[in-house]
């Protein structure tokens, strides 16, 4: 079987596996050396938000794509989101890519996430709740109460906020009895979709997986074949044209240089994924489709589903251990084949990755485009 897109998904139906910690135990990792953390702030893409490591002056402002990169000593850390000068909420950052959105701010509480999403749009002056980008660069927000906005929403505290922008002052309110958000007495129309945000977090986990296991051998359970994964940080520079990663040095030569081209949500009636569960549909350069809904970064495991001759094939992909590689059961050093970048440096592990200039400059952690329709 020629594997066009190797990493895909276990299907979720009903009360199948839990989204968090799928495919084995997962734990946070402390890294002794400094590392970069890329945060993506969204209700839609949020420009001009301030992201900080909690209780420090280590801060940065989000760009046009709602992203910012901070350098931290170790993970996990807590990141705070500030909008218009006030502390809006916080999230835990346990991996190099951190989604900050209504669902993660609400700790996966859909009711709270609905109010948070509507409020972020209202504070940016968007009563439709549908703008693709929200700009907080020239907005100042005043609140008479203490505490983060998210914590006050969770407590059911009614809120009245003054928003000062280039077009004057506005009043934004949150009705604690039903979570309704208003901008100058106009109700904000915002529709929260938890599956959408969970799938976006799943993509972040997939990027973290690719980054962590760059240059590692991956084994696939359905046919016991192996390939070496090559992470592509240029995915962030030009996501419409750059694959997230590709495979090389495969035990089955037909699988060499397969790449991930398109990543999107599929909640259609024909999808094998449950409409209530996060799932990514992946299409490769040959228009072959697979599905992914489980990424366990710490366990080094992905679970997948694809079709061969009309029959579903289920399996999982795991990172080959060092002992397996040392024993010669997996193949070793290789050249990535991204020749246009090779002069910029050679990465560790005995191969030329062709990506090192992006990683050193930090440009690899910008905004990403996943093909989701609401973006």
Report yes or no: 328 and 47 within 8 Å, Cβ to Cβ.
no
Q: Look at residue 322 in the predicted model and tell me its pLDDT.
A: 72
Domain assignment present for residue 274? The answer is yes
Residue 340 lies in a domain: yes
pLDDT at 58 (0 to 100):
96
Please give the pLDDT value at position 216.
94
Longest Cα separation, the chain: 69
Which residue range forms the structural domain that includes residue 326?
195-365
Joined tokens for residue 309? 């001759």
pLDDT in tens, the chain (375 residues): 333 333 322 222 222 223 334 655 444 444 446 777 878 788 888 999 999 999 999 999 999 888 899 999 988 999 999 999 999 999 999 877 788 999 899 998 989 999 999 999 999 999 999 898 999 999 999 987 788 999 999 999 999 999 999 999 999 999 988 999 999 999 999 887 777 777 777 887 888 888 889 999 999 888 899 999 988 877 655 555 566 778 889 998 888 877 766 667 665 656 666 555 667 777 777 777 788 878 888 899 988 887 766 677 788 899 998 766 555 544 433 333 333 333 333 333 332 333 333 333 333 333 333 333 333
In contact, 101 and 89? CB cutoff 8 Å:
no
281-290 contact pairs (CB < 8 A, 24+)? 282/5, 282/7, 282/8, 283/5, 284/4, 284/5, 284/258, 284/259, 284/260, 285/243, 285/258, 285/259, 285/261, 286/4, 288/4, 288/5, 289/5, 290/4, 290/5, 290/6, 290/7, 290/8, 290/9
Give the sign of the dihedral formed by CA 85, CA 91, CA 97, CA 101.
negative
Indicate whether 125 belongs to any domain.
no
Q: Are 19 and 198 in contact (CB under 8 A)?
A: yes
Hey, CA dihedral for 174, 179, 185, 188, is it positive or negative?
A: positive
3-class secondary structure, 153: helix
Residue 200 lies in a domain: yes
Q: Under a CB-based contact definition with an 8 Å cutoff, are residues 80 and 87 in contact?
A: yes
**Distance, CA of 27 to chain centre:** 18
Quick: pLDDT tens for 144-183: 778 899 999 999 999 999 999 999 999 999 998 899 999 9
Q: What is the pLDDT of residue 327?
A: 53
**Is 78 part of any domain?**
no
Residue 279 counted as domain residue? yes
Q: Quickly tell me which residue has 């020749």 as its tokens.
A: 339
Number of structural domains found in the chain? 1
CA atoms within 13 A on the CB side of 8: 27
HSE (CB half, 13 Å, CA atoms) of 15? Answer: 0
Instruction: Kindly state whether residue 203 falls inside one of the protein's structural domains.
Output: yes
Backbone angles phi, psi at 183, to 5 degrees: -120, 110
- Cis upstream peptide for 248 (omega within 30°): no
Q: Identify the three-state secondary structure at position 217.
A: strand
Calpha distance 139→135 (Å, rounded): 8
CA distance 316 to 297: 13
Q: Is residue 70 part of a domain?
A: no
**What are the distances in angstroms from CA 303 to CA 117, 180, 226, 290?**
31, 39, 15, 11
At 207 the three-state DSSP class reads: helix
Q: Where are the alpha helices (DSSP H) in the chain?
A: 102-105, 110-123, 149-155, 194-212, 322-326, 356-361
């Amino acid at each position: 079987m020629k594997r066009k897109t190797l990493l895909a998904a276990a299907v979720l139906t009903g009360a199948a596996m839990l989204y968090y910690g799928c495919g084995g135990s997962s734990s946070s990792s402390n890294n002794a050396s400094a590392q970069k953390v890329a945060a993506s702030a969204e209700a839609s893409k949020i420009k001009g938000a301030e992201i900080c490591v909690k209780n420090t002056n280590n801060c940065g402002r989000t760009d046009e794509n709602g992203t910012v990169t901070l350098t931290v000593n170790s993970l996990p850390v807590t990141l705070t989101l500030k909008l218009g000068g006030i502390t809006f909420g916080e999230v835990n950052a346990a991996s190099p890519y951190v989604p900050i959105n209504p669902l993660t701010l609400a700790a996966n509480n859909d009711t709270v996430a609905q109010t948070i999403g509507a409020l972020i749009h209202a504070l940016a002056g968007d009563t439709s709740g549908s703008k693709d980008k929200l700009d907080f660069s020239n907005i100042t927000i005043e609140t008479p109460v203490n505490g983060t906005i998210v914590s006050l929403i969770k407590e059911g505290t009614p809120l009245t906020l003054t928003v000062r922008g280039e077009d004057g002052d506005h009043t934004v309110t949150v009705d604690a009895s039903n979570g309704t958000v208003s901008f100058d007495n106009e109700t904000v129309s915002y529709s929260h979709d938890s599956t959408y945000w969970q799938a976006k977090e799943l993509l972040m986990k997939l990027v973290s997986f690719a980054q962590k296991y760059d240059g590692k051998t991956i084994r696939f359970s359905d046919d016991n074949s192996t390939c070496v994964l090559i992470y592509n940080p240029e995915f962030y520079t030009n996501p419409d044209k750059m694959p997230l990663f590709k495979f090389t040095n495969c035990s089955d030569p037909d699988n060499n240089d397969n790449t991930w081209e398109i990543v999107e949500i599929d909640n259609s009636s024909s999808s094998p994924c449950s409409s209530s569960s996060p799932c990514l549909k992946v299409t490769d350069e040959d228009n072959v489709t697979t599905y992914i809904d489980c990424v366990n970064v710490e366990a080094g495991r992905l679970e997948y589903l694809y079709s061969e001759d009309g029959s579903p094939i289920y399996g999982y992909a795991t990172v080959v251990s060092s002992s397996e590689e040392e024993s010669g059961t997996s193949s070793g050093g290789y050249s990535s084949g991204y020749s246009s970048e090779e002069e910029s440096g050679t990465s560790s592990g005995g191969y030329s990755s062709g990506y090192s200039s992006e990683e050193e400059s930090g440009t690899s952690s910008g905004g990403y485009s996943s093909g989701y329709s609401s973006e």
